Chain A
Amino acid sequence: MVKILAIIMVSISMCLAQTSFDRKILEARGKVFPALVHVQPIKEVYDSGEMRKVQVTGSGIIISADGYVVTNNHVAEKARFVKCTLTSRQEVEAEVVGLDPWTDIAVLKLNLSKAGLSEVPFARLGDSDRLEVGQIVMALGSPLGLSRSLSMGVVSSVERYFEDIGEMVSPFNLWIQTDAAINPGNSGGPLVDLNGKVIGINARAVLFGENLGFAIPSNTVSHVVKQILERGEVERSWIGVDWQEIREYRNYLDQPDLEGVLVANVESNSPAARAGLTPGTVVTHINGKKVSAVYQEELPKMRLLISDLPIESPIEFETISGDEAGEVSFLTDKQGKFTGTEFVCDEWGMSIKELTPRIIKNFQLPTNQGVLISGLRRGGKADEAEVRRGYVLLSVNGQIIEDLEDFKVKYAQFAENKSESYLLFLTQGNQNWFALIKGEDD
């Protein structure tokens, strides 16, 4: 009898738990679901030397009653026109307020008046620093374009570190890893805790991986959104240093208590290089504040500490080099553009791109002069002249091309004088190339 009672008791209590758990999920969902947005930007992309339009699908979340929406940079970048569909299925136009490719965050503003709305339901951002592994989370969005979807899982990791490889992987934050199903189209959608707070913006998944989704922590999101709303962009300080964690360096020196960060690489022509900072130096204090990165996961915080400084602010390092303590101080510089602006030369049938610090570094270009040939239209004048894609254009008829703006001015004349021929001088790696765009009278 006691046994039977016990079994009944247990099952009843489980039922109760089930219903309260269910309710908790529904409540949390209810707080965020009305603020979910299905985002469909029309993008202008440059392909084969021409500008083309494509429509993509992503997700977003409204964060204010007046209609500011957070989504991913990779959803909203290059968008001319953004169509948003609210959970109420009402379609509202939006404009891009600001983009931050470094963290993959974008802010949109819904055109409420045009849609005849005065305000919209919005969700609140939570505190991602208090998130714990194992906590239940839900991912909301439009996986593969299937709008208003919800999937659930747990937080798998709160400190996933990705090496900075320059492909939408932010060097300034760690990532939240979740096993809640995330697919293409979930990008820009919220990751929500059981209190109905947005604790991350879903951004990436591992192709061919099972339930490996990654979200940008909400604290990074609010930090970036705040700056975009204030200035339209995120300005970052740059000094030209790559940092390395000291875990193994401690072993090498046999100094298990060493604190600090190791300078691994100093870019030439950077503020740090000019100040004489060299690889192998350990930085222990920045502007009087103690810093240390024993593990990789501590590096993003380090980078953020510097990037958050206002541009051209004085920075002071206390260092150890070998056994010698030292000090280095200099001014920070502005971090260069992530992606360059593109421009179509219709007459010549090619597209060109502004040189960014990344391109200059990867191409090992001696100067920042020139523009990158990003695409060629098949059968166009440039294609016929054997202009090469991926090469940097240095000069036309002996006239040096300084940058994109300079090229645009010169090209306007070139395109006008169709009877003239133009000798382009290009370079890539160690190899240069001449290409002659023939005048129409020839």
Chain B
Amino acid sequence: MKRIWIRVTVLLLAMQTIVQAQNWDKIIDRVSEQVVLIEYFEQIISAEAIVEKERIKRQLTGILVDDSGLIMTSAEIFPTSLEFSSMVNIFDQTAIPTDIRVKFGDEEYQPAQFIGKDDDNKIAFIQLLKEPKIKPIRFHSKRQLSVGSKILIVQHLNRQYDYALLVSERVINSIVARPRQRYLCENSLRSLSEFGLVLNAKGQPIGFLRGIPQTTGGFFEMPEFSIQPAEIILFDQFADFIKNPPLYRQKETTRKKWLGIYMQPFNRAMAKFQNQPGLTGVLINTVLDNSPAKQAGLKPGDVITTVNNQRIAAEKDNELETFRKIIREQPESQVTFKLFRNGEYLDKTISLGETPISQFLADEVSNAVLGFSAKELTQDIILARQLEWDADGVWVSKVERAGLADVAGLRPGDLILKINEQKISNLDDIQEAFEYIEYNKPAYLSFFIQRRTDTRFLFIQTKFQDPPEKQGN
């Protein structure tokens, strides 16, 4: 009897597999056209060369999302930060991706261009130059997922496997409730990128797969042994981006709302310390100069308890994310806060600003003869260098290796205060200095610079007045 039961079970299991396998075939057939391979060139920006030379060919998985040929992919395609942040990295930047081609299932390449990206959601969009012949993916919204729900991930393998389509069946392994609902699944197959289309058990497209960046562990921690789960992002979270993709327009790029504070959780112990045991919120520890927060008179020590009457709570670090999201994604610039300050509650109406641009988007001038480039000061550099918020000046963004400026000791990051006796306050001043140099061809130049906290002089030998090198005899 027992044996029969086992046989029946085995049979049932086998049948199930066969049924599913049939479904998969159809499903994969359908989506394999819409899950495309994107090929592009990444332009490395080096602080040691004023003209970029290095280009790297890269591939990513993309999803065709509308009839006009809009393709959604990972923000990896253009990782450089366009918005101001407290961490400035002038090294390891990349320029906007170029020579983008999209390969559909039929081996045909179509040219495309970069449209824009959203770093908060880690997605980017490219646009085919010609309308595609195939239909886009139609996402299904409001699909419920629970722990154990089966999903199908469609992505590509890497170059070693000739970018073959990779389809894997996974289950939702965990649902994290706070600070926001997150669906996590196991993620151990090494795919081309941590981006892919997600289908539910019925084969309906429901969202995309997104990798979770490795938290930096110790030096000895082997990444292979600590693979992070991946996250399933459901359609509701990105539907608006497909309708209204973020647009990259250099300095005019749409940026998110900005308050201009640093904050920390306001936990129960702090509430108790303030004799307000029920009080929740975020604690402002820093108010940046020249920010909407400063203009509205916010102060370190203020607790923001509500935003537009919505109650705020952040007991732990990761819960600050909720408040940050509310601010960044505010549709209106006016918001009202209820603050707790020195034992009293007060209401503040604040006009949020636009997040300032990152130094990447700042204007730049270069001088090929001297071998350096300089950029105007942006808020992130001002903050990193602890300058006055309205400081004027330019900073050295690139120094050509072994060029005249490099030999004289100029370094990326230096602030240029004077060239010869001329004060340098902006890029126009430096442009003028370049013109003077080109016209007068002085043998030596004096640069008065600031490096970290100290100033010093650098003298650049121009070699303008060297006798011309003899051509071969």
Residues of A whose CB lies within 8 Å of any CB of B are: 242, 244, 248-249, 251-252, 254, 262, 264-266, 279-280, 322, 361-362, 364, 421, 423, 425, 429-434, 436, 438, 442
Contacts and interface: CB of A to CB of B under 8 A. Distances in A.
A249 B262 CA distance: 45
A430 B273 contact: no
Contact of B264 (A279, A361, A434): A434
Given A251-B459, A279-B457, A430 B264 contact: no
Interface string B324-335: 000000000000
B390 to A, nearest CB: 15
A266 B283 CA distance: 39
Given A432-B300, A434-B264, A279 B448 contact: yes
* Interface core residue of A264, A425, A430, A436 (most chain B CB under 10 Å): A430
Given A431-B285, A436-B267, 8 more contacts: A249-B457, A254-B443, A264-B455, A361-B453, A364-B386, A430-B286, A431-B86, A434-B301
Sort A-B residue pairs by CB-CB distance and give the 6 closest, nearest first.
A248-B459, A252-B444, A264-B456, A432-B285, A265-B455, A364-B386
B444 A421 contact: no
Nearest to A435: B264
A376 to B, nearest CB: 17
Nearest to B446: A252
Nearest to B274: A423
Contacts of A242: 454-456
B75 interface: no
A433 B300 CA distance: 9
B459 A249 contact: yes
A423 B283 CA distance: 13
B138 interface: no
A222 B259 CA distance: 60
* Interface core residue of B264, B288, B300, B455 (most chain A CB under 10 Å): B455
Interface in B421-454: 421, 443-446, 448, 452-454
B369 interface: no
Contacts of B158: none
Contact of B286 (A264, A322, A432, A436): A432
A264 B417 CA distance: 12
B273 A436 contact: yes
A406 B444 CA distance: 53
A438 to B, nearest CB: 5
B444 A251 contact: yes
Given A249-B446, A251-B444, A423 B455 contact: no
Nearest to B456: A264
B457 A262 contact: yes
A265 B86 CA distance: 28
Contacts of B454: 242, 264-265
Contacts of B267: 436
A433 B86 contact: no
Interface string B448-473: 10001111110101000000000000
Given A430-B383, A434-B301, A423 B273 contact: yes
Nearest to A427: B286
Given A322-B421, A434-B301, A264 B285 contact: no
A433 B444 CA distance: 48
B285 A434 contact: yes
Contact of A436 (B262, B270, B383): B270
A251 B461 contact: yes
B14 interface: no
A361 B453 CA distance: 7
Given A421-B269, A433-B285, A434-B285, A362 B453 contact: yes
B58 interface: no
B269 A438 contact: yes
15 contacts: A242-B454, A242-B455, A248-B444, A249-B457, A251-B443, A361-B453, A421-B273, A423-B270, A425-B300, A425-B301, A430-B86, A430-B286, A430-B386, A434-B264, A434-B283
Nearest to B268: A442
B272 interface: yes
B291 to A, nearest CB: 12
* Interface core residue of B86, B269, B273, B288 (most chain A CB under 10 Å): B273
Contacts of A244: 456-457
B386 A431 contact: no
A434 to B, nearest CB: 5
B456 A436 contact: no
A358 B264 CA distance: 29
B405 to A, nearest CB: 14
Contacts of B446: 249, 252
* Interface core residue of A254, A264, A361, A362 (most chain B CB under 10 Å): A264
A264 B457 contact: yes
B300 A442 contact: no
Contacts of B459: 248-249, 251-252
A425 B453 CA distance: 25
Contact of A432 (B262, B444, B445, B457): B262
A262 B448 CA distance: 12
Contacts of B418: 280
Interface in B365-387: 383, 386
A332 to B, nearest CB: 20
Given A251-B461, A421-B269, A421-B273, A433 B264 contact: yes
A279 B458 CA distance: 12
A126 to B, nearest CB: 36
Contacts of A249: 446, 457, 459
Contact of B288 (A251, A425, A430): A430
Contacts of A438: 269
A244 B421 CA distance: 17
Contacts of A262: 457
Contact of B456 (A265, A423, A431): A265
Contacts of B386: 364, 429-430
A436 B273 CA distance: 8
Contacts of B448: 279-280
B340 to A, nearest CB: 14
Nearest to A322: B421
Contacts of A264: 454-457
Contacts of B461: 251
Interface string B75-119: 000000000001000000000000000000000000000000000
Contacts of B272: 421, 442
Contact of A252 (B445, B452, B453): B445
Contacts of A434: 264, 270, 283, 285, 301
B84 to A, nearest CB: 12
A355 to B, nearest CB: 15
* Interface core residue of A244, A361, A421, A432 (most chain B CB under 10 Å): A432
A397 B386 CA distance: 27
A438 B273 CA distance: 9
Nearest to A363: B386
B457 to A, nearest CB: 6
Contact of A442 (B269, B421, B452, B453): B269
Nearest to B417: A279
Nearest to A423: B273
Nearest to A430: B383
B87 to A, nearest CB: 11
Nearest to B454: A265
A433 B262 CA distance: 9
